[in-house]
Structure 1
């Protein structure tokens, strides 16, 4: 894991840039700020930009930046809709956007959080045991973000604003040297089906048994692919299965899951910590925790990043950062 601890002067420099951006308008256009993110990121401290350029060039798996300002925070929202309605944590959103834009291009999903580009990750009442980031009492299993889609992000960026119980983010990677060759051979073939997770499918559709979105985005592909010495990884136990009738592929999924769980490491994010996770090299999850619903529960800001924004434009058929 690579880590950069910002100096107080660097923190103040970033904060001043964020306040300048926020000062342009009383209701900032977050998507518009994302559009100019690459240009604005050029004004970040040199040491931070050099650090992120090295992360990109080396394909580093996990990078943590510590010491960022998250601004004056209101109580943790009761769910992402409340955060969207009030603009809660806007300072932290812009910090995340600017820093992440020095690594890759931000984008969002029309099917997630009403098409917002920066997502709020906080516990939701009634969703404690869901398979989404609003869960809490159940562990969020190790997964590739948006495993089903060919334009899934190259990176997932998470900025911590609150984490009072020090709930750990879990991370695991694939080391080809540690996986039996026969299973790795199976994992490297197009014998697996991938589906949208529940955050992409509205609850009312799931309850009604409407699987049109799932059917539309059903894809078949490999779990392990790319350079043999440092393979890329695509895995989500809850939203993938083997091609029908392929028992060897089903067994490989089970073996891979056990391997990832056994090799996982934990990272406890503190307020002001930003972690950049390579979504092609690392799967991530979260340990369970018990929300207190007192306004001080765990709260992160999340952003998806892609190295080549034209992949999004080509998929959409338009110059939009929101995947339709």
Structure 2
């Protein structure tokens, strides 16, 4: 399925039905009064979160959504039937913006959470409301109100606890594959990951967290280079970032220090909030060299990067270092507990 994380749609709520101008007409009743009923309200357009969806691809071809109109009122004080609301399911993590005002209408983060994005019009009043001591046979009624018409932008930001950050081929997809049941595509060429992939990592019988793998970022991403810039927004909801850097087995294969500096700069260009988010340094592909050389290289690169805190050295192939990293992530997200200590 193709991943789509931003769409523009038009929503139109139903119009309210008109009120009725009717008079009571029954046998043996000489002076029947006004008995026109009110019109029914128009249906509203409602967005509803669905955790079973993970893309906005369903909106690529259908761009306009309309709720039902309310029916007109009738005689004998009969009210018109209200129009049914139109419920549109969207992935959890969808933000909704009004294109005309560029204001954020709401954020759908929970399953079955609902957000009214277009209000149905009120029904008109029948002539029974206009009867008075000086106007015993009113013929006035009101028309129903028009339903709200809106141009919307839907923007999906995946919901994940941990986000993976790194250049192409940094080992992010292999890492997700190793610690969860997710099966992202893996290959030895850049941009294997073309859209965000989520993996659920179990840490105890009743506790787990979600890891998001996004396409690799390259220098100039903030100006539109590469694939990753359009997906950096998916990291904004995460509680922790893992900055993953490929540990080369051979001199000259890549420059981890330069990549680290470039990506850190791209984060700041994209969002200061994202730049300041908790970020851990993880060196990957330690299996491509001896344990001693891998440890020496990691220490050398961390010092050159100016990294003063703890860093991790892992291999997703032989699973080395994964348990410590998973346990530390769980403690960071959920606090200290014996369940995964």
Whether TM exceeds 0.5 here: the answer is: no
TM-score, with normalisation over the residues of structure 2? 0.25
Tell which has more relative contact order, 1 or 2 (C-alpha 8 A, sep 6+).
Answer: 1
TM-score, with normalisation over the residues of structure 1? 0.26
- Structure number with the higher helix fraction is 1
Larger Cα-atom Rg: 2
